[in-house]
Amino acid sequence: MTAKTKDDIQTFNRRAATYEKSRRQNLIFDRVQKIVLTLTCRDKPETVLDVGCGTGRLLRKVKEQWSDANLIGVDPAESMIAEAKQLLPNAQFHVGMAESLPLHDASVDLVLSTMSFHHWADQAKGISEIARVLRTNGRFVLADIIAPFGLSMFFKHFKRSNASKTRALFAESGLNVELQQRQWPLFSVLVVTIGRKHLYVD
């Protein structure tokens, strides 16, 4: 685990108690999550995993859309997971990293990740782990912010996100990119990438 990753986790642990009241949740995250759920509305998954689930806000929306789905959240911040368990007690929540998911092989139909990809210490390993836990034909929907051209000096937090690199990482992990779409919530560029697990991936 890198020093930056440790710092990120500590920051989110400190913010957990007030995270649900954050303006950012209402201004950006809710819009991003709405976009993701709109793009996945045709799915009827049995099991849904949210990687970087925070306080479980997206999973609560997933429950409204697919009331019978088994819901699983993974996040490295213990305090975030504690909040999530209180807000959505019927879901399964685990403290863990994207790079080492505490789940069995081929156990999930749909994986979602919104606004956490730029925090991952090893993005390639994280996507590979998601491919491992996906069932055949399962889908991974990744949404993250990319710094607008010319404004990267003000959006240093999102410099690691790159649409072309993301497509390549999906392909390397055996995920067929079905869609990559750019949207513009507020003053940032959101890139949503959807990949499906190949039939021949173990």
Using one digit for the tens of pLDDT, what is the confidence trace for 120-154? 999 999 999 999 999 999 999 999 987 655 444 44
Q: Count CB-CB contacts under 10 A for residue 108.
A: 25
Enter the tokens of residue 35: 């976009």
d(Cα 76, Cα 155) in Å, to the nearest integer? 23
Enter the tokens of residue 170: 């999906």
pLDDT one-digit tens code per residue, 167-195: 999 999 999 999 999 887 555 688 999 99
CATH of the domain at 150: 3.40.50.150
**Within a domain: 36:** yes
**Within a domain: 124:** yes
Phi-psi region of 54 (alpha: psi -120 to 50; beta: other; left: phi over 0): left
**pLDDT given at position 144:** 92
How many domains would you assign to the chain? 1
Mean pLDDT of 23-33: 80
**Within a domain: 38:** yes
- Report CA torsion sign: 137, 121, 9, 162: negative
Residue with tokens 């990438």: 193
d(Cα 37, Cα 110) in Å, to the nearest integer? 11
Percent of the chain with pLDDT over 70: 86
Residue with tokens 């080492």: 100
What domain range includes position 121?
3-197
**Within a domain: 202:** no
d(Cα 127, Cα 72) in Å, to the nearest integer? 17
Look up the pTM and report it.
0.89
The three-state secondary structure class of 152 is coil
DSSP 105-151: TT-EEEEEEES-GGG-S-HHHHHHHHHHHEEEEEEEEEEEEEPPTT-
d(Cα 38, Cα 26) in Å, to the nearest integer? 17
**Within a domain: 41:** yes
Confidence category of residue 202, pLDDT binned at 50, 70, 90: very low
Enter the tokens of residue 78: 């213990």
**Within a domain: 188:** yes
- Tallying the residues shown for the chain, one arrives at 202
